[in-house]
Structure 1
């Protein structure tokens, strides 16, 4: 019979599918013929909606939903659709609710007509119908019904079905957004739902808590441990909300405690070592701090560790965030592998994973070193991916082994010779950061960069020279030959930035001993083509001339000349008068020329020539600089100021990682991806983690000791089977207690009797059964007497209730005897 019924049901299903396919095909043909097909379609849809057949109504509703999602007008069917809200078919109700929520804000008056029917569905026997009705009522954004929605949520919080309670939790934020004045009522509902025994109810309750009252952490204390235990079973989005809030809760409720541990180097003890040597070793030991985890915090971290195998990338990042901001580094090391595994995801997820990995690696790079091969750039990687990969490689470079260091340098050298100009530039910068991070490899990186300055790519040469300049500034004493090598390539380089960099480096070595000083010769060569250089190169040549002339003055200070009598005739001179070629206009020209020294040194003449070239240059910036340097170097009294201005020691530049500005942003947030410049305080809703609570100011840990208590069943409540089980358990407990008491009395009165043999037990069946019946009657008398005492203590019990209670007791005792 079962096989026949299955075959008949399959045939019925196939028939329905065939009819639906035929109807859809006929409608598709009908809507594509003629210009009046649209009018025919509207009338036909209304006829379907008014039909008494659920199949026709479903067909009409599906057509309306398809019109709605194609952005075609579907509002004319509103009244015809709302009439079907009382249908007993769940599929019809579902489509009507979708249509109603979509158009409720457009037609609020018509939407209010369906509220009574939706309220009736809240008492439906089917929990799915109750959940759909509650969800629809909360989604209708009409402020008039907000109190009705609040009452519906209250009813849903006490519903027997956990799915309805989950829907009530999800409806709380909608009600709060519609009317924030209902917050006190909603907080009570949230407090009830947080303690729900079902994990898929507690998760949405936490989400509602975060939106309605995130500052009320006092509501969480008694539910903390139950939420932690339910964390593994929650859905992915509830896990995200719960971990996000419990991270904040941990910062506010668990103080950061540490203890000092001595780290003593273990040295092999000699045979003749005495106690004095041991004492000196103990004095030299250093100490380090070890964090002390609160047991409740450790419980939360262990629960999070189980989520590292989640299929959702956001959950993995959220676990890493908990470990990064709450736990010791041992926990974070467990999250590194799942984080790196996200690089096998699609490119959009790779980008988000790399942003988070880079920020974590800036704090703790050591755990990522064994996964360094995952950050090598692939040929198919887009620019936003390989930029982050290069940054991750430079962060991990100082902490990996020699083999991986050589691999990284080879990769960067390869990409520095590529065709993509952006990739070439970033590869050269990455080489510079690697050299700064590990001084042992600086020479190797410098050799690679020096090979690049002969390239025909001007951008590559300019970027390479900028990185070389940074490396030379870190150790200028050992790079004299490097600068000489750069000077040799000065005639081959045409890029203005590259030439300006080389000239600036020559100026930094202008103070060498005269026998090793090459700066004056370089200056003499550069001055010959001064007029044809770019403005940036001219500025550096002028600066080089000022430095060389200043060093010349410091080595050969001018002789003090006797003070001359003031001249009677007024002199109208400017700062350029003494730069002329020796010819002066006026009657005193010949006399002043006679007072000048007969022969001026070569360096002074070269400096005057540079000032003369700058005087007639078209750039006003260059002319202003020349006036400044001339005023500083014209009088001996201003030489000290020039020394401070031109020869001041310069700090070695440190090229920070591009993501250094994002280091303080929370991982797993949108602000981290978009950057801190998106707004002053990040995107709306972004909040930094609070500081750790001070020791002694945290809430009492006893508040978290109240576990989720399962309400004990009231006497007389529950099914008959449950009542019988309770009665049996009580009887067994009482019998065990009475047997223990009799055994103790018998042991004190007489010796323990010997155990009976099998024949003795078979000979005395009747006496034993009589003794058992006597014990049972004694137990009944005891229970009756106890119940009589309890009944006498109740002051407001009526005679009818006493009679019913006695009948129930007699019934339970008969069941026990049976």
Structure 2
């Protein structure tokens, strides 16, 4: 209790004026106990978000101590602030090197761990010698810590790790006598292997035997590392696979679920190499018990286990075929567990257990939770489709549910009965009359569409089919697209099967509405096709529309075989929970720190005017990288970003990229050459490689939007906008000094952004007198390393440093015309190929004002904004563009109606769709 209260008192203090100065003085005290308390105060302030970077030299001076607790506190501070003070961090290098030679293994390990966590390039070379010694240290604790440090160093400098032979050291450590050293070495090699994309870690039969020998004595997470690495090993023959399986089987009894799932993953892979059925049969039976045990844990673990089980039973139903009762839902199961259990029951259904399952599903269909009831009814239909012998039993259960007259139960039953009709044509049509009696209960689009399909498909067997369809046609304009499409097809089927006077009137009405009163291109095109078919060749229309349909199968939850193999190799990981391959949501590039527009200024402890200190940016979680979602792009000759594997992966930095401002001089990037052709549109020469001469203030030039007001900028107003000039991006900036002192030393830094934009040279701004303004043009480069690894807010997050005002932060919305490149034109055939393959997730559609323009006028306006006309189709004009880093932008604009156009945008980058739509709207207005 006393230690808890002692810790709280450091966090209960509030920032007071002059506290930085007070802490500076207190850190100089010779009293060790008091000094430790002061460092704890500093760490507490740092933890709650106050900027204590000005104390860096004073805290570093506290490193020279024998007190382990104080040393740990100082190292923690160093890890957090080293990136903002790289030069001062060099002061601590000698202490690190000295600590790596300390008699205490705890201090040696602490020193090498901290040096690995300080992600500053300047001290990387100083880390190598201590790391080399610690990798061969006599104490296993130091060796295991050093193994992980190699992976961290590889993230910073892969070449240095390879040159110093650290990879060979890690491979040698697999033979270490200590199992934890072996486990950490495997973990480090696996991480490096995934980062580099090269075969860094190759398993042989001798290596596997060493890993299996260490397996029994490892901690639980060490066992997970070793088991996960064994998945990459391919046994030489059946006997080799059997030997490995027998060594791993005891891990199935482990108390840690992660160990159990990792062991299952390895065993399932190695069973594929076993040819002896006498060995394989009993082994498969042994796998059921650990899976059943996982279902007797807390709900969250049950859910993860069920997600993995649903993958396993798609390939190996025999494992749990006789254990279906463990998947029966309990009344107190959370809904997410019930849904996964239901999915497992559907996959395990067969002719032997269908009676038992139908009783369960019928019981579930009377539950209170509507979503669970819907899925239970749908489960009955899926069983009917997949198990022919059970179809009649399923129909009987569904009819019993329809008789309950519960609205959502009836509607779900109609939906699944439509699938049963498609699977077994001309077999169960006797129940249509029962369905028609419940038309008044149908109010959901999918249920309506299913019922309309049934009426149209069996129009010749339903006496009053025309009357039934007529009730739906009364609300045709208000119906959703799926219902309208089914009504159109059903009416045409009715006309072809019963070409009497009333169906003729109905077909004319529905075709007229579908071609003239709708904005849906799919509905309109289908109506035109039907109209042309019926008017030219009714017999051909019969052959097309009334042709036999292919028999359906229940593949709603089935995975592609290749994807299933990939997921089985990732059992026990997040991929098995998402049921997506890791490459679709894991970025093997270093994540950038994302800052919200309003979160740039971190609170600082008031130093009472003792000195200026750079503000600390707050950190937010990075967004996982997303894959290339436009399926057709792989076949096209378009430039693309550098592959993700080319950049090293890294843990999230504690400090944002904006805080790596080089306060000692200009950026190290080469200055861009001035654009050819003389002066820019504003009359100013490009300042990309020019000396620091004062650009003239041109008040007559177009004004720039204000990005940082005088109030937020501490007296400095910043205006700016991205522009595109002669194929290059430039940042037009204007600075106005509203303070009473000259401002100088202006520097600029950009956070990682969606477009890979970074300064191509130093910011050239002379001293700004009080009340004066200066305007400049900053050339920008496009660097894949400066891009966010995943969709993020498409804004520029900028830090500007001034000698007098410190670091200021601002966010600027992106002028899309500046980041649309000149080589974005596409041939129409190429455009169509990509457009068709683009998934719905990469599409955004919206009605925009045409600004009174014709379709040709709209195209001309968009062509002047960075887009290129590709051609025209049935739905309107098509335009293409290409963002920096190669992401395509595809736009379709319909013909204007009543001053509005339907605009559809598609892009590889989902995060850029709203910006692209706004750009199109601005160009058309």
CA distance in 2, matches of 1:627, 1:67: 70
Residues 49 and 81, structure 1, Cα contact 8 Å, conserved in 2: no
1:532 to 452, 469, 474: 474
Cα separation, 1, equivalents of 2:545 and 2:333? 46
In structure 2, the CA distance between the partners of 1:233 and 1:430, relative to structure 1 (3 Å rule), is same
Aligned match of 1:209? 189
Pair 1:21–1:664, CA change in 2 (3 A): closer
Q: 1:629 and 1:166, CA in 2 relative to 1: closer, same or farther beyond 3 A?
A: closer
Residues 753-787 of structure 1, C-alpha deviations (whole Å, 9 max, x = no match): xxxxxxxxxxxxxxxxxxxxxxxxxxxxxxxxxxx
Matches within 5 A, 1:159-170: 159-170=137-148
1:154 and 2:132 correspond = yes
Deviation string 1:714-771 (CA, Å, 9 cap, x unpaired) is xxxxxxxxxxxxxxxxxxxxxxxxxxxxxxxxxxxxxxxxxxxxxxxxxxxxxxxxxx
Distance 1:436 1:146, change over 3 A: same
State the match for 1:652 in structure 2: 551
The residue number in structure 1 matching 2:58 is 80
1:710-725 mapped onto 2 (5 Å cutoff) = none
TM value normalised by structure 1: 0.61
Higher strand fraction (1 or 2): 2
Q: CA deviation at 1:468?
A: 0.9
Deviations 1:373-410 (A, max 9, x none): 332334444443322221111111227x54xx444323
1:199 matches 2:179 = yes
The residue aligned with 1:567 is none
Q: Which deviates the most, 387-396 or 525-534?
A: 525-534
SS at the partner of 1:650? coil
Superposed CA deviations along residues 271-323 of structure 1, whole A, max 9, x for unmatched, are: xxxxxxxxxxxxxxxxxxxxx6233x333322322222223322221111112
Q: Verify: 1:522 aligned to 2:464, yes or no.
A: yes
Aligned to 2:86: 108
Q: Is the 8 A contact 1:550 1:633 kept in 2?
A: no
**CA distance in structure 1 between the aligned counterparts of 2:98 and 2:420, rounded to whole angstroms:** 78
Is it true that 1:389 corresponds to 2:341 in the alignment?
A: yes
| 1:468-547 mapped onto 2 (5 Å cutoff) | 468-490=417-439, 498=447, 501-502=450-451, 504-509=453-458, 518-519=461-462, 521-523=463-465, 525-526=467-468, 532=474, 534=476, 547=493
Alpha-carbon separation, structure 2, partners of 1:22 and 1:624: 73
Q: 2: CA distance between counterparts of 1:539 and 1:211?
A: 52
In structure 2, how many angstroms separate the alpha carbons of the residues matched to 1:28 and 1:113?
28
Alpha-carbon distance in 2 for matches of 1:342, 1:406: 26
Q: Select 1:663's aligned residue among 547, 560, 564.
A: 564
- 3-state DSSP of counterpart to 1:658: coil
Matched, 1:144 2:88: no
Residues 558-577 of structure 1: CA deviation (Å, up to 9, x unaligned): xxxxxxxxxxxxxxxxxxxx
- CA gap of 1:226–1:544, structure 2 versus 1, over 3 A, is closer
Counterpart residue number, 1:673: 577
* 1:67 counterpart (24, 45, 65): 45
Contact 2:496 2:542 in 1 (8 A): yes
Larger Rg: 1
The corresponding residue for 1:804 is none
Shift of 1:680: 5.4
How far apart, CA to CA, are the structure 2 residues paired with 1:228 and 1:29? 47
Q: Kindly tell me: are residues 510 and 232 of structure 1, through their superposed partners in 2, closer, same or farther at Cα, counting changes over 3 Å?
A: same
Q: Secondary structure at the match of 1:248?
A: coil
Match of 1:363 in 2: 315
Equivalent residue for 2:268, pick from 313, 324, 333: 324
The answer to whether the aligner puts 1:422 opposite 2:366 as a matched pair is no
Write the distance in 1 (CA, Å) between the matches of 2:72 and 2:470.
88
Distance 1:369 1:162 in 2: 46
Corresponding residue number in structure 1 for 2:742: none
CA apart distance, 1:154: 1.2
- Distance in 2, matches of 1:396 and 1:86, equals 65
Report Cα offsets for 1:411-445 as digits up to 9, x if no partner.
32233234433222212111111222333332222
In structure 2, what is the Cα distance between the partners aligned to 1:28 and 1:538?
67
Unaligned runs of 5+ in 1: 1-16, 256-291, 512-517, 553-602, 688-818
Shift of 1:99: 2.1
Paired residues of 2:11 and 2:44 also in contact (CA < 8 A): no
Residue 773 of structure 2 is matched in structure 1 by: none
1:314 maps to 2:213? no
Residue 220 of structure 2 contacts residue 256 of structure 2 at CA under 8 Å; is this kept in 1? yes
Question: SS of the residue aligned with 2:225?
Answer: helix
Matched, 1:121 2:99: yes
Tell me the alpha carbon deviations over residues 196-226 of structure 1, each in whole angstroms, 9 at most, x when there is no partner. 1211111111122123356144575643321
When residues 505 and 70 of structure 1 are mapped into structure 2, their CA distance, relative to the original with a 3 A threshold, is: closer
Instruction: Give the aligned partner of residue 232 of structure 1.
Output: 216
Match of 1:57 among 24, 32, 35: 35
What is residue 443 of structure 1 aligned with on the other side? 392
Tell me, which stretches of 5 or more residues in structure 2 are unaligned? 273-279, 590-624, 627-925
1:465 CA displacement = 0.9
Go from structure 1 to structure 2 and tell me whether the alpha carbon gap of 1:301 and 1:45 turns closer, same or farther (over 3 Å shift).
Answer: farther
Question: Counterpart in 2 of 1:241?
Answer: 225
